[in-house]
Each structure stands twice: as C-alpha cells, then as structure tokens.
Structure 1
C-alpha cells in the first residue's frame, strides 16, 4: 500500500540527506512503519531556515515537489494563481497514485489538497487537523474553508479527520485524537511537592512568537516575584521575539529569575519537565499543546489559556490553571496554589494520571487502526 502525505511542512535537503521538522519526523516514523511505501507531496527547502529538524529515519519514495504560496488574504491568493494551478495538477496526479491519501491541515497545501480530494471519493483518506478546531474561534478564511470541506460528508467521503477535542454538532467524518511524546517504558514514578522555602520553577516550552505569548509568561513571573515568592522561569525555544524578551529581561532586572535556553533536545527538555513545578503556555491559539501534555506527563501543574481543547485537557481547571489573561487574577491563582501545597500536589497528581493515558504505544496503535481501516 502506498500512502502519500500532502502537507505544507517542508522536506529539507541538506548535503544529500533529507530532514523534517523534528516532531513531524517522529510521528511520520509511525505512519511509515505500517505502510508498504510512503511518499511526500510538499515544498522542498535547501536550508533549514532555523527550523528544528531531524534527519528522516525511514525509507521514502522520491518527494513530489510543490511550490509554496500564500492565501492569507484574497489579494495574496490572486497573486499566487500560477502556483496554485501548478500545485493542483501535481496533487491530482499524486492522488491518482495513492492507495491512502493523508492530509496535514491547516495550511495552504492542506487547503488545496482538501479541494482536490473531493474528486477521489472512493479512496481511503485521513486528515490530521493540527490546529484549533473550535467552531467558535476566530481564524483566517482559508482555515475556516478547510474545516468546512473536511467536516462536510457530502464533499469529503471515506475520510477520517483527526481533530483535538470533542466538539458539538460535528459530522461523522471527525474523530477526536491526540498526540504523544513518551513511551510507557518512561513512566517512572514521580511525586512533586511545593515549598515556599525552596526554588519554585515555572517552565515555558515553545516558539518565541507572538502567538505563543512568552512575554505574558515573563510578566506573570515578574508579578509573582513582587510578592516575595522564590520563583524562576526557564524558557526553551527560539523565535523572532528572542531579542525582545532579552531586552525586557534586562530592562526589568530579571536576569536572575528568567533564563532563555534556546532550542534543546528531547532529553534536556525531559529533565526540565521533571525538575519544574509548573508548565506554562499563554498561547493565543493551539491544537493539542504538546508542551502542556509533556509537562503533565512529568507531574507539572499546567497553566494555559482556555483555547481549543485545553479546557478538556485541564478538566476545566481541575487539572491545572486556566488563564484568564488578566494579570492580577492569573497571578492570584498561581500564588494560591503555591500557598496551599496540598492543592498543588492534588493537581499535579491528576495531571500526571491523565497525561499518561496518551503514550506512544497507544498513539501507534490508533494510527495502525487508521491505516488498516
């Protein structure tokens, strides 16, 4: 069986070897394991452009190259007509060759593939919608269009659409799904306590961009410090806001309390999760917030905005703290947990127990079911 993946995520060619965005490569290893052949229909880069990449560790057929284009606005969509037409033809021909069509959405290539797959109603298809499926959320028109096509059982047939969270009034196409980082073999016993006399560690893991809102995490810690709490914030990730954050840390005399570590490998992150009390992500939009699930796996109490499936993950606040994006109110919630060690320990325990339902073994088992039908 040949599975062809249609995605905006690029394959990166460096010195004759192929690379992918690291978490994407790890997931694709699992899909490849359960197919005879796997092929990618996507853009190809000649440099990594600061993307965190890993070498592809599975066999692939020759990449079917697509041209990148933009449809964020109607105007940009019109200026990309030539690329769209060329890509549409390439995608159509690729889908003819596929036994299983797999879409990665949202994205420009995902949008085009959503439209083209309509002409293949009898082929087995899956789509992973990695963004926020919440029908009430404000999103670009291209994202809304992809969601409408995928959710429409008349236009989209023989398709399982993997989405994060359970949503009302959705079609039979949708299948609530998850992602995973850790194996059952890593489930070491861990119990966390909090003590005001000892250093309390908060952790942010994510790209340093406006959408992830790392500056809000720093401001939270800055305000908590003013109440004489012994807290520090470790930030892992790179992005265009790095210099802005560095300047904010310097101007506000936070160098002893906020630390920028850049991109680090999975083992370094694992140790950071294990040593932290809280994992924080004040993001403006999410799919399945990987950093939150990873932190919970290691008994961190999650602090996150109520977007996408986050309220479900945090059980409406029973497994963590849902940010209101009001600095005073959010600081008060965090301090309340610091001041009540038993409440912290209870949330830490239920966070761990929930997250350990979502292991790599279960993830692989679910993917195998999707491929085998």
Structure 2
C-alpha cells in the first residue's frame, strides 16, 4: 500500500543520512516508523538549507522525500501568497494523489490542510493526526481544523489527536480518538543503565522549544530563591526559540548564570545524554498535546515535576514518578522538589517507576496502534512492526 504525506516540517538534504534527507525533532522518527506499515511512503515537505544542529535522519529506504519551496514562510504574506503557491504546485500534488492509496496529513499545518482537503476532494482514505492541544482553538485555522475533524471523522477518515484521557476527545463525534506521541524505541529504553546518584540529587533540566508558556523562567526564579537558602541546583536548558535570549538575560539578572547551562538545539541522542546527567525534569508548561520529551525524561529515570495540563496529570499519577504543580510559580516548584526529596528512600523506586511506565509508549507501540486504526477503517492489511 502506498501512503502520501503532506507536512509542513522543514527538511534538508544531508549526505550523512541513509536516505540523503534529514530534519529536526521527532518528525523523521515518526515517519520512519509509520512508513514501516506501508510498502511505499512519499512525503511532501518544504526544503530548506541544511541546519547544522539537531539533525535527525530519515532512515527507512521505503521513504521518498518530495521537496517543495515555500516562498514566504510566515506572517500575513504567507497567507496571501498561499493560493498562488497552491496553483503552482497543484499539478505535482494531483499527480502524486492519483498514484497513492491513502493520504496522511499532520496538523497544525498549511501544507497539511491542503493535503487533507485534496484527499477529501479526491475521496482518498485519509489519516489526520492533530498534534496541538485539542481543547484550545486560538485562531481561525485551529477552529476550522477542529470543526472539520468533528464534522467528517468516521468511515475511511481516521482522525487521531495527540493527548490522552479516560474520556473521548469529542462529544460530537466518537470516531475521533486519542493517540500518544513518542520518540523512543524499546531498545533505547531497555539499554539505559538505571543507576542514578541520589546522594547528590541537585541537578534539573528542561527540554523544549524555548517560548513563553513553557515555564523555563519559573525554574530560573526557583533556582534564585533556593540559592538564597543555600541550596544550589544546576539547570540544563535544551532547545532554541524566540524566548532564549531573554532567558539568558534573566538568568544573569537572577544571579544564577553559573548554575544554568544553555545547550541550544540538540538531536535526539544528544538530548538523551543531557537527560542522563540529571535527576529532575521540571516542566511548568501552560499548554500541551502529548509532550514526547516528558516520556524521554521518564525513560532515563528522571523524576518529573510538571503541570496537570492535557495528559500530563494522568501520566504523573499513573507512573508514580513525580509531582504535579498546584500553580505555575517558583514557590510551587520549590515545594514539589522539597516534597520529593523529603523521602530519599523512595527516589530510586520512583525512578524505576518512570522507566517502566515509559515502556508503554514506544515508537513500535505508536505505529502499531495507528496501524490498527487504519486497518479497521480502511479494510486493509498493513505491515506490522
């Protein structure tokens, strides 16, 4: 079976990659494992110049990258020129659609939106994966995606949204289902040495795109307040973003710049190495879908301190491997750290709990769960992992 993917994820040519293509983040890993379900996978993505940091390879040789150029990446002009861009590439898209058996469109994404609208028009079996916060629609586009999924889910339209709950994502359409997200193989988790130094637990980290709302500045403030009491934590900050330079200035302002190390963007293997050096993953985020990075932290035995947004509350409670913040502020971060450190005999047990819990959410399990949805809806037999 042949799958065609429409994605906004920027990719570039790389001689070091087995497929000669690379990107950053979890997209390449997702496509590698999703493509194992199919005989051939062709992916339409915007091509950019090679990025030197955080490179992740596409490794499955059944994947073919179909690059397009995006004339204007963001802002109002992007929206104004999108119809002309679509007309320019439409013959190429139609040619690929006529050859494929099914279409996958990750959203939020302008290109993903074009993909699922063309799938609708040409009546192709369709799989949409909604990767944002399902319950929050701030823009007209988010409202449209939400409406479309609730209106048309069912039949050969398989619509999954990242997150998790004991209740269905939608009261209007029971065919919309939850799907977790992952960037971990079972082998990666099982190969990790679970021993940690809990005699000296004063190391914490965060990994995310450094934007307002992720809460990195809250942790920096907590470091300052603990330092005043003679407690010195180190804090590793991984990820780039528009807020990064402001965070560096804030660390200097709070006089904790010697305790905070900013790594910038790292690839998957590099992220795991940073996690392995730490004891606590502190993530005071305001909004999430299903954050892969929390599972990455758990897989390396870190205790997670985070907010009860989206699926995070359920993850911490079910895993018994961390603490939930009552409020998003430095005082509650300190309170949670002190709570966890108050019973040092339980730290190793909680760390093992975290690793065990993460084994439920591997890339293999992720692809097979998606495959079971697609087989049932499309009445086909896919390859299994």
TM-score bin (small chain): 0.7 to 0.9
Which one of the candidate residues 330, 350, 366 is aligned to 2:369? 366
Q: In the alignment, which residue of structure 1 is the partner of 2:356?
A: 353
Matched, 1:300 2:299: no
The one-character-per-residue Cα deviations of 1:129-151 (angstroms, maximum 9, x if unpaired) are 111112xx242221221122123
Q: Counterparts of 1:58 and 1:184 in 2: how far apart (Å)?
A: 18
CA distance in 1, matches of 2:9, 2:101: 21
Rate the CA distance shift 1:9–1:355 in 2: closer, same or farther, 3 A.
same
Pick closer, same or farther for the CA change 1:15–1:294 going to 2, 3 Å.
closer
- What residue in structure 2 maps to residue 131 of structure 1? 132
Q: CA deviation at 1:336?
A: 2.2
Matches of 2:245 and 2:360, distance apart in 1: 38
2-structure distance, mates of 1:180, 1:213:
22
How far apart are 1:325 and its partner, in Å?
Answer: 1.2
Where does 1:45-124 land on structure 2 (aligned, <5 Å)?
45=48, 47-48=49-50, 52-59=54-61, 60-61=63-64, 63=66, 65=68, 67=70, 77-78=79-80, 80-86=82-88, 91-121=93-123, 123-124=124-125
| Residue aligning to 1:153 | 152
Deviation at 1:37, TM superposition (A): 1.8
Cα 1:62–1:91 change in 2 (3 A) is: same
Say if 2:11 and 2:21, in contact at 8 Å, map to a contact too: yes
Would you say the 8 A contact 1:115–1:149 is kept in 2?
no
Alpha-carbon distance, 1:202 to partner: 0.7
Structure scoring higher RCO (CA < 8 A, sep ≥ 6) equals 2
1:23 maps onto 2:23 in alignment: no
- C-alpha change, 1:144 and 1:230, in structure 2 (3 Å) is same
Give the CA deviation at 1:126.
Answer: 1.3
Q: Closer, same or farther in 2 for the Cα pair 1:48/1:142, shift >3 Å?
A: farther
- C-alpha spacing 1:170/1:218, structure 2 compared with 1 (3 Å): farther
The 3-state SS of whatever aligns with 1:176 is: strand
Residues in 2 aligned to 1:171 and 1:319: alpha-carbon distance in whole angstroms: 34
Structure-2 change in CA distance of 1:369 and 1:193 (3 Å): same
**Closer, same or farther in 2 for the Cα pair 1:161/1:319, shift >3 Å?**
farther
Gaps of 5+ in 2: 381-385
Distance in 2 (alpha carbons) for counterparts of 1:13 and 1:274: 30
Distance in structure 2 (CA, Å) of the matches to 1:9 and 1:104: 9
Question: Which residue in 1 is equivalent to 2:178?
Answer: 176
Post-superposition offset of 1:125: 2.0
Alignment length, in residue pairs? 365
Q: Which one of the candidate residues 34, 38, 51 is aligned to 1:35?
A: 38
Hey, what's the Cα distance between the residues in 1 that align with 2:73 and 2:146? 18
Greater shift after overlay, 261-270 or 106-115? 261-270
Unaligned runs of 5+ in 1: none
TM-score where L is the length of structure 1: 0.84
Other-structure match for 1:165: 164
| Contact 1:104–1:128 (Cα < 8 Å) also in 2 | yes
Change (3 A) 1:270 1:322: same
SS in 1 for 2:132: coil
Of residues 287, 290, 297, the one that matches 1:288 is 290
